[in-house]
Structure 1
Amino acid sequence: MYKKILLPTDGSDYANQEIPRALNVLADDGELLLVSVATKIKPYQFQYKSQVQELNQKAIKEAEENVEKMKAKIEDKSIKVRTKVVSGFPADSIKKTAEEEDVDLIVISSSGKSGLHKLFLGSVTEKVVSIVDVDVLLIHN
């Protein structure tokens, strides 16, 4: 059983399939950490800084909604659940969060918003699996 499990979410139905699998391996006194990554856009010469800031704020709001929607799907309110929103590139941010939070396991779906999910792992999932130093439970969709 795992004491601290990280569940990344992009708001997709695929990500929600992580929940029951994570609950199956969560220790009785364990904790779920729900994480959504807001991809940060950087201004370029042809973009107005205010437009970039607005897009980044929208990305953060969407990420906050993603973790709250996932949290609402956990029916057992006795389970310790935390949410976290981070900015950056998804796979790198998931790795960094896993290290900072000292998680024991990452439960991640094989495909989210990216296409061709029947043929390939999602690009974020594939990178996470290859760069993290903790156990990963890959949920095939």
Structure 2
Amino acid sequence: MYDKILVPIDGSESSMETAKHAAEFASKLGGAVTLFHVVSPLPAAIQGTSHARKFLEEMLRHGEEALKDAKKEIASFNLQVDLDMVVGGPAVEICQKAENEQYDLIIIGSKGLSKNRGFKMGSVSKRVVRHAHCPVLIVR
């Protein structure tokens, strides 16, 4: 039923815990996991500047490290783990990937790197819940 599971991660402790929950869930169901990182685009005001390229390269390196770290965290579950990263709006990219590649489930953390204490659930996870074509499991 849940053969393909999409797990958005941002490198935060919370997303690493989410990856572990997803791996445990997938291992019990015989599913595969795709760890997915979205790099937010740079503001238009700084695009094209010399600093913009360096900043984007640093963000892409951070994303690669986050993906590799998460994959190491769940290696003991012995399941198929794919890695993917794109540049774009996080909620939009997550929902598009899930729909375009026919994922059965999205497992996402309730909060990421920008932990707003006044909110129970982060803005990305809220948007994903509202717009995803498939079920979404929120990890707190």
Question: TM-score with structure 2 length normalisation?
Answer: 0.88
2:24 touches 2:77 (CA, 8 Å); kept in 1? no
Q: Which moved more, 1:89-98 or 1:18-27?
A: 18-27
Residue matched to 2:135 = 135
Give the match for residue 116 of structure 1.
116
Structure 1 residue ranges (4+ consecutive) displaced by more than 6 angstroms after TM superposition: none
The percentage of counterpart residues that share the same residue type is: 30
- Once the two structures are overlaid, the 10-residue window that deviates more, 74-83 or 131-140, is 74-83
Unmatched runs of 5 consecutive residues or more in structure 1 = none
Which protein has the bigger helix share?
2
Provide TM-score, normalisation by structure 1: 0.87
Q: Who is 2:2 aligned against?
A: 2
Q: Which runs of 5+ in 2 are unaligned?
A: none
- Is the 8 Å Cα contact of residues 110 and 117 (structure 1) preserved in structure 2? no
- Taking the TM superposition and a 5 Å limit, the aligned residue runs for 1:4-83 are 4-26=4-26, 27-28=29-30, 30-44=31-45, 49-76=49-76, 78-83=78-83
Higher strand share: 1
CA RMSD across the alignment: 1.9
Deviation at 1:43, TM superposition (A): 4.0
